[in-house]
Amino acid sequence: MSSSVVENQVLHGIRGVIVDLDGTMLHTAQDLHITINRMRADLGLGPLTLETAISFVGKGAENLVRKSIGVDFSASEVELRFKEALALFEKHYFDVNGEFATAYPGVHEGLQAMRDQGLRMACVTNKPMAFTLPLMEKTGLRDYFEIVYGGDSFEKKKPDPMQLLQVCKDFGLHPSQVVAIGDSINDSQAARAAGCKVLNVPYGYNHGQAIQDVDSDGIVSTLLDAAHLISPT
């Protein structure tokens, strides 16, 4: 049942794409689940389910850490433990990052099709850069992109439009000539605030919410479907 592709309108006059990483290009949930459970074990806490871990992904590492210990502690207790928890998270994620991460179906084909169309290509993720770049290298994604911005590249991250606006500026494109492709409300809100178009994939991590409830110019089953909906003319 992928009738959504048939119903979607082609986006014309698009010269650049901004592609999200976690939940859009890479299924990273297992790495993140293992990492937060190792962090929790070090803090004397029991494991969380994969589903719970997934529901915390999308607003960057610091939010993931806060939410993951917020299961057991009040907001003020979380802040007391935050620094230690973040250091543990980082230590374990350096070990685990990329171990189980896999590209979703159609990712390489979609990125290649976008490249063949002559689109300018950037990756914007809320994942910190120290984890983003090795992960993209390991999974063969890095070379598709002229620009990669992470959650710590600027003062603000998605859903703030700062990263997307910087990409538009770097490319010399008006935001209306750029489409953001992502799996979550953070991508959509950032795109709308920047004035970019937005396409969503339904298979990622939208905080446990249906992607159909997110403001979007279309829901596409794969990045290859997204490429088919983007036209430079």
- Give me the residues that bind ligand PGA (CB under 6 A), please: 20-23, 57-61, 64, 125-127, 151, 158
Beta-carbon-side half-sphere exposure of residue 63 (alpha carbons within 13 Å)? 17
Where are the strands (E) in the chain, listed by range?
16-19, 26-27, 102-103, 120-124, 147-149, 178-182, 197-200
- The distance of closest approach from Cβ of residue 205 to ligand PGA in the complex, given in angstroms and rounded to an integer, is 7
Q: How are beta strands 102-103 and 26-27 bridged, if at all?
A: antiparallel
Query: Do the Cβ atoms of 205 and 23 come closer than 8 Å?
Result: yes
152 is in an annotated binding site: no
Piece in contact with Mg ion (CB under 5 A), picked from 42-50, 78-86, 177-185, 223-231: 177-185
- The distance of closest approach from Cβ of residue 158 to ligand PGA in the complex, given in angstroms and rounded to an integer, is 6
Closer by beta carbon to ligand PGA, 68 or else 177: 68
Of 220, 224, 211, nearest to 8 (Cα)? 220
Given candidates 31, 183, 217, 225, which one binds Mg ion under the rule CB under 5 A?
183
31 is in an annotated binding site: no
Closer by beta carbon to Mg ion, 37 or else 206: 206
The dihedrals phi and psi of 198, each to the nearest 5 degrees, come to -145, 135
183 is in an annotated binding site: yes
217 part of the active site: no
* Chain centroid to CA 87: 22
- Window 1-20: residues binding Mg ion (CB under 5 A): 20
Task: Look at the chain and count its residues.
Answer: 233
- The distance of closest approach from Cβ of residue 12 to ligand PGA in the complex, given in angstroms and rounded to an integer, is 27
Cα distances (angstroms) measured from residue 155 to each of 19, 163, 175, 191, 225: 20, 9, 20, 17, 33
Query: Do the Cβ atoms of 198 and 179 come closer than 8 Å?
Result: yes
Neighbouring residues of 74: CB distance < 8 A, sequence distance ≥ 6: none
- The distance of closest approach from Cβ of residue 100 to ligand PGA in the complex, given in angstroms and rounded to an integer, is 16
In the list Mg ion, ligand PGA, none, the entry touching 57 (Cβ below 5 to 8 angstroms by class) is ligand PGA
In the list ligand PGA, Mg ion, none, the entry touching 165 (Cβ below 5 to 8 angstroms by class) is none
- The distance of closest approach from Cβ of residue 227 to Mg ion in the complex, given in angstroms and rounded to an integer, is 18
Q: Which residue is nearest to ligand PGA (CB)?
A: 125
Q: State how far the Cα of 155 lies from the Cα of 161, in Å rounded to an integer.
A: 11
The contact pattern for Mg ion, residues 23-42, with x = CB under 5 A and - = no contact, is x-------------------
Q: From the annotation, which residues make up the binding site for Mg(2+)?
A: 20, 22, 183
User: Would you list which residues are annotated within the binding site?
Assistant: 20, 22, 183
Q: Which residues are catalytic?
A: 20
